[in-house]
Every structure is written in structure tokens, then in C-alpha cells.
């Protein structure tokens, strides 16, 4: 009885919405409902965006340090073809057999070297120098 009441109640509701055929109403109740596909906005990665714009892309994905030797470690990189083409144009390909990873490694090593050299120059410039001066008479001073 409850089942009949539920169907009858649903049919009455459907009838008020303009459904006049009980068979059609029942088909509507038990047919597979189409799930509206929600259009997912696919977010593009920085690499995809740069590649589409024709710009070079490079990213450090991860850095691992050997727990037993703090001076040893590894980097994981990601890049696009435009980055490789730019590096080749700037002379980072030494041999035709160089892989993209060889070219990226050569460039990254040069970048790291430049950072170290610049830091060393700044350190030297900031170091305090001891200036000694000595009066040698006749209004003259010796500075060393």
C-alpha cells in the first residue's frame, strides 16, 4: 500500500507539472538519469602556458640531499623545447650527441658557478681591510 501511495503521490505531482500519462510518469521515475557533465576547468601548468606562448620554461622540481654527506645531492629539472633551443643558440651544446639533459646540466652548472663567483666578490668587497698609516715626517704619511 505504501508503494502505491508513493507512486500515486508522485504521479499527482507529475500531473500538476503537465505529465498526463501514468506509464510515461513511471518510465520517467525509473529510467536512467542523465548526469550533467560538469565542465572541469582544466588548469594548465606553467610549462604548458609557456610552451603555448613560445617562451622558454625551466623549473627545479625537487632537490635531494644525501643525509650522510651534506655536500652531495641531486636536482630534478623540467624544461620545454624552447628552453633547449635557446641554450643551444647561446652555445651550451658542445657536441651533436649532447642530450637535452646534458645541455640543461651545463647551463645550470654555469648559473651556479656565477652565483658562487658573485658571492665571493661581494664577500671580498665587504671584508674589512686593515689600513696602517705612519707619519714619516715633513708632513708626509706612509700608508700600507
pLDDT, tens digit, 9 for 90 and up, residues 94-135? 999 999 999 999 999 999 999 999 988 888 877 766 778 888
pLDDT for position 120: 87
CA 44, CA 80: separation in Å to the nearest integer? Answer: 14
pLDDT band at 75 (very low <50, low <70, confident <90, very high): very high
pLDDT for position 58: 96
pLDDT for position 99: 96
Between 65 and 131, the higher pLDDT residue: 65
Q: Which residues contact 19 (CB under 8 A, 6 or more apart)?
A: 11, 25, 28
- What is the per-residue pLDDT across 1-60, written as a single tens digit (0 to 9) for each? 344 444 444 445 445 455 556 566 556 656 665 555 555 557 899 999 999 999 999 999
User: Residues 66-95: what's their mean pLDDT?
Assistant: 94
pLDDT for position 131: 74
* Of 72, 74, 79, 76, residue with least CA distance to 62: 76
Between 22-30 and 2-16, two packed helices, what is the crossing angle to 10 degrees? Answer: 110
Surface-to-core class of residue 105, CB atoms within 10 Å of its CB (0-12 exposed, 13-18 middle, 19+ buried): middle
Joined together, the cell numbers standing for residue 34 give: 542523465
pLDDT for position 84: 97
Amino acid at each position: 500500500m505504501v508503494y502505491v501511495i508513493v507512486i500515486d503521490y508522485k504521479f499527482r505531482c507529475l500531473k500538476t507539472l503537465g505529465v498526463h500519462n501514468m506509464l510515461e510518469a513511471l518510465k520517467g521515475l525509473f529510467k536512467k538519469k542523465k548526469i550533467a557533465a560538469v565542465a572541469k576547468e582544466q588548469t594548465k601548468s606553467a610549462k604548458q602556458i609557456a610552451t603555448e606562448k613560445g617562451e622558454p620554461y625551466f623549473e627545479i622540481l625537487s632537490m635531494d640531499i644525501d643525509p650522510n654527506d651534506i655536500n652531495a645531492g641531486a636536482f630534478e629539472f623540467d624544461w620545454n623545447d624552447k628552453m633547449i633551443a635557446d641554450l643551444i643558440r647561446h652555445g651550451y651544446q658542445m657536441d651533436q650527441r649532447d642530450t637535452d639533459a646534458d645541455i640543461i646540466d651545463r647551463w645550470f652548472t654555469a648559473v651556479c658557478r656565477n652565483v658562487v663567483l658573485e658571492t665571493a666578490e661581494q664577500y671580498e668587497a665587504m671584508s674589512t681591510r686593515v689600513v696602517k698609516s705612519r707619519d714619516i715626517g715633513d708632513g708626509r704619511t706612509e700608508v700600507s
